Amino acid sequence: MQKINWGIIGCGDVTEVKSGPAFNRVKNSSLVAVMRRNAEKAKDYAHRHGVPRWYADAGQLINDPEVNAIYVATPPSSHEQYALAAIRAGKPVYVEKPMAVDLGAARRMAKAAADANGKLVVAHYRRRQPRFRKVKQLIDDSAIGKVLLVRLELTKPPMTPEERANPNYGWRVVPEIAGGGLFHDLGTHQLDLMYYFFGPAAEIAGHAVNQGNQYPVPDLVAGSILFQNGIAFSGTWCFNASRQSEKDHCVIIGTEGTISFPIFSGDSLLVEAAGESKVFRFDPLPHVQQPMIEATVRYFLGEGPNPDSGMEGAEIMRWIEALVKPSAP
């Protein structure tokens, strides 16, 4: 294989800017086919993005001989189905996050790829972005001394009735489709970064409640993680707050200073150490998944390591379930 010819299953909103255009901007990569169950929408997407072929059936896209890699960008409830079908067809898979609707599905996907000697990458794409790679470098270089603890807070207002009624967005709080609520949708990015920064967890504890009762999933999650290296993490995720209290903040505290940054807003990070403050600024990415797609293409071509394996993705699903369901395995 000298070039990755991508087929997208589920060419919805996430593929319009965040990911879709990047497949044609990466070296040795091209988007050649898309699929959506609504044939007119699939055709429209293909026309607007200059994609040669479109389908209304996932099986036809997977079995297209010109397609040699699959991007699964549907809601989580169908990730397992499509990923397993692609693996059976001998094609590597790049799957959106959350990896699956639950931990069991994530583990089955990871096992299927391993058993078939196939390739599976999970789209926790923030770990490949320059800003978060800089955080990792600062940690590894002991810029704030020995890391002791991490505090994370994400506070947002509840979804509006219009957002809940929008089929392109409202599914995020339908448990049978999303597996959970906005914590599953957004928290997976944050927890994956913690895994990327600090490694495996030794202990996880959490509480999840539905305070607003606007949809059948928790809107408040609070939890803690003790990493195997002794670093302590605490996080709160509230999706039922006033707009005035909206917050997106993470601070890493070390023996000699701190690193502070938002995860979903802004393009900078602040380092305070040795009595000095330094702000690192980063240019906004036109397609936020492009660095991860670049790494995935290299992996699929045998030119680099897996940037986020199925086993890692399943571990993040385990963390999520351990925080909202304390009895989870």
- Closest to 201 measured CA to CA, from 222, 234, 221, 230: 230
Whole-number Å distance between alpha carbons of 288 and 303:
22
pLDDT digits (tens, 9 = 90+) for 277-306: 999 999 999 999 999 999 999 999 999 999
Domain boundaries of the chain, sorted by first residue: 4-125+289-308, 130-283
pLDDT band at residue 329 under the 50/70/90 scheme: very low
pLDDT digits (tens, 9 = 90+) for 108-128: 999 999 999 999 999 999 999
pLDDT band at residue 241 under the 50/70/90 scheme: very high
Whole-prediction pTM: 0.96
80 backbone φψ class: left, alpha, beta (φ>0; ψ -120 to 50): alpha
Q: What is the CATH number of domain 4-125+289-308?
A: 3.40.50.720
Instruction: Please say whether the beta carbons of 112 and 84 come within 8 A.
Output: yes
pLDDT digits (tens, 9 = 90+) for 52-89: 999 999 999 999 999 999 999 999 999 999 999 999 99
Instruction: Please say whether the beta carbons of 126 and 228 come within 8 A.
Output: no
Domains 4-125+289-308 and 130-283 agree in fold:
no
Query: Listing from the earlier edge strand, what are the strands of the sheet with 247-254?
Result: 201-209, 220-227, 232-238, 147-155, 247-254, 257-261, 268-273, 276-281
Tell whether the torsion through CA atoms of 219, 319, 108 and 264 is positive or negative. Answer: positive
Instruction: Please say whether the beta carbons of 206 and 223 come within 8 A.
Output: yes
Peptide bond into 98 cis (omega under 30): yes
Query: What's the pLDDT score for residue 326?
Result: 60
Q: What is the CATH number of domain 130-283?
A: 3.30.360.10
